Amino acid sequence: QCLLPSYAPLIPPGVAEQPSVAEMTVSAFQTSSMLIKCDPRGCKEFACRAMFRGDVQRGDVIAPVAVMSKHLHIVDWAPRGLQTVISPRAPFAVPGGDLARVSKACCALSN
pLDDT digits over 20-42, tens only? 999 998 888 888 888 888 776 67
The pLDDT of residue 67:
84
User: Which residues neighbour 38 within 8 Å (Cβ) at sequence distance 6 or greater?
Assistant: 2, 4, 31
- Cβ(57)–Cβ(87) under 8 Å? no
Tens-digit pLDDT profile for residues 93-108: 888 889 888 999 999 8
Q: Check residues 80 and 50 and name the one with the higher pLDDT.
A: 50
Would you say the pTM of this structure is higher than 0.75?
Answer: yes
